[in-house]
Structure 1
């Protein structure tokens, strides 16, 4: 069935409304989803991993009154949520939620089906449009021999619309594209203004094979999210050379009346294999900011100058 061509150039990443790093309340999370829908965003991406199911529950509740055929919903498999004995402690994987559940990696056929069934329950839906194998970095054999065939079967049965994988690395995604019949990949952080390793290594292969690419992590966790390039890079302090490079890119952007985050959102869509940029947001204000950045025009001369100075490939 594949990925709909009308999913839109930008999608809503629901990791932050799963209380990524800091908590947001239900009302703030709902307002973020509402703002995205009202801004014309029609692709919504979540996962069991995000807040131990909180992201899926909040996203499903926020979309419950929207026509089901008006949006595309993506979730992921590979981490089952099971009861934890952690008591009153907090989740140790970056989400500000109680650790009453824990994640168990499971890329088996049964694990995939169970994960999807449980996601549908949390979302309050009877189907999802895209299912991605989530972060199978150390689980290639089971992911390709069990998870992928299970998803392909569900796709053939019309239970899901499109299947693929989502990762922070491009090398294994390229292997999936070469060795399976996936519809879509989500590439996080490797097709950005600062890291074009996936641009060179994965995207031409996807274009050749007709695999659509969802670009995520386009701010590299924060360094490209503000014009002064003061944030983190891949969730850690930015190395000096990358910080200097980001600020050089910002200076070139200034010559064209463009901000660094505006360019960061626009850059991934320049490749024909990329169909949408998925940007996370935790509030209506963040959604509105990103929508305004996405709507602002970026002159072609900016990319010419960045290439001339060796700042983009």
Structure 2
């Protein structure tokens, strides 16, 4: 059974699916609501476990409380092993608000006000022979920085989930063997990202572009994968699902392009359902 460690921030998402965004001072009835643990690494880990892999999540949980308990119960039910890496008893899980529209396939996210946990535990034991692959997502940067030597010594592939470009993105990119980023990660376009990867000696990468599909480069070869033809209900978490599915398929087949195709189809399936989990239970 494939084993992967996902390192990243966890949040509690308050979600609503609506037909259209309301205007200023407007109100609209939700088509679906949920309160559910979220975050890029968390959603990817849940996807990886759902597909049959052994998933571990290194994340900051902080002080005991109902939000932390909800997260642990949920991930326990989804068979994801959780490792709290925060050593700050005052840290609290961020609360995120997400509104998605069915008509546009777009979403609006209000991130929690909490900053990342800066006082982290030493957990080099998590980065070793017990995992076959590691995914990082540009969060938990204090933990990643404190364990940079262990990550560089890791002999398996390190996958980067790159959303938007951040001040510290270059540090994460340098750690990655396989960066799979969104088009907003590099606003100057795929060629600029290709040049960036070439300068760092990265020969295998992909860029997701929503309805425009996926661009990939693999050791001199390159191509495009069209987006699946699905009736989109909700795109929330689709990128996270893509990464979790890619990690699982890549460990199973060893084929980069085959894994991208599999991840593309599974992420498309998730878009045909509301929220981040209902596709798993359909």
* TM-score normalised to structure 1 length: 0.36
- Identify the structure with the greater helix proportion: 1
Q: Which has the larger radius of gyration?
A: 1
So what's the TM-score if we normalise by structure 2?
A: 0.39
Greater fraction strand? 2
